Amino acid sequence: MRYLLLDNYIKILFLLLILIFAVVPTKAQSILESFDFSKSETFLLPNQLQEVSGLVLNSEGRLFAHNDEKGTVYEIDFNNKKIIKFFFIGWKAVYRDFEDIAIVDDKFYLLVSNGDIYEFSEADHKRYSDYTIYRSAFSSKFEFEGLCYDSLTNSLLLASKEYPGKKYSGMRTVYSFNLITKQFIPEPRFVISLKELKSKYKISEFKPTGIEYHPLSETFFIISSNKQSIIELSNDGKILNGMFLPEANHQQPEGITFNKLGDLLIADEGKNGRGFITKYKIVSIPSTNLDEE
């Protein structure tokens, strides 16, 4: 009987240990330095994408981009350096200040700088797709430029370029749009300290133009066209790393995504020339939450 009780105590203790380790979060690790920024591959985009603004990969690994002023979405074959197709939102051309793009399941989302979000499905080459607009709940002071899907909260994240909100002076903020309730969340998902960016990483004038989630590290990356820089955040908003992008490779970084291998893709607006996409390969991945499960 004594041995039976001891055996039960051991089993209970073992189960408790499992529960403890299951609920204690593993500290997120940066993978920013895992990309080889000394080498790059570039795709010089056609003229219609001179003002390329957003990049996104769907679940099949297909790459899509859009330009800044017209609601047109392009499918891109980066490896063969060609445009596969393009399609429009609306039977009549929609002209807005489109800033970024996201895909969730089979739905596409385009972000307007004032925070409006267009939801639509993929269409065939040179065809159009009907759309739904979710009107922004934010002040006209905001200028949103980054959009990505956050699977942890089942929401779209909207990165504000400069104005952070009344209570967040000296910060940069990222807000949410809940995909279940179809509501904008008034409190920011992330609050980024400009003071911390400057003191730790020498990055000043950080103004987000793109945001993306990396599934291998479960971290978020944000780029800025000012000073051509990139930072990495944990999923609870802590700054994990930051650095300047190679100045020779970037003149105005606007869009960011990752391919299925985990490589980093950044789209730059063409300014006085053609827009282009730059790829940096991921050469090593440190131990992450996924490795430890």
| Token pair of 128 as six digits | 């159009």
Identify any residues that bridge with 84 across adjacent strands, giving them in sequence order: none
- Can you give the pLDDT at residue 290? 40
One pLDDT digit (tens) per residue for the chain, 293 residues: 444 333 444 343 333 333 333 333 445 789 999 999 999 999 999 999 999 999 999 999 999 999 999 999 999 999 999 999 999 999 998 999 999 999 999 999 999 999 999 999 999 999 999 999 999 999 999 999 999 999 999 999 999 999 999 999 999 999 999 999 999 999 999 999 999 999 999 999 999 999 999 999 999 999 999 889 999 999 999 999 999 999 999 999 999 999 999 999 999 998 778 999 999 999 987 654 444 33
- Can you give the pLDDT at residue 231? 98
- Can you give the pLDDT at residue 287? 57
Task: Tell me the whole-structure pTM to 2 decimals.
Answer: 0.88
| Token pair of 203 as six digits | 């990055």
- Can you give the pLDDT at residue 27? 58
- Can you give the pLDDT at residue 78? 97
What residue ranges do the domains of the chain occupy? 36-292
- Can you give the pLDDT at residue 286? 60
- Can you give the pLDDT at residue 22? 36
Question: Does 2.120.10.30 match the CATH number of domain 36-292?
Answer: yes
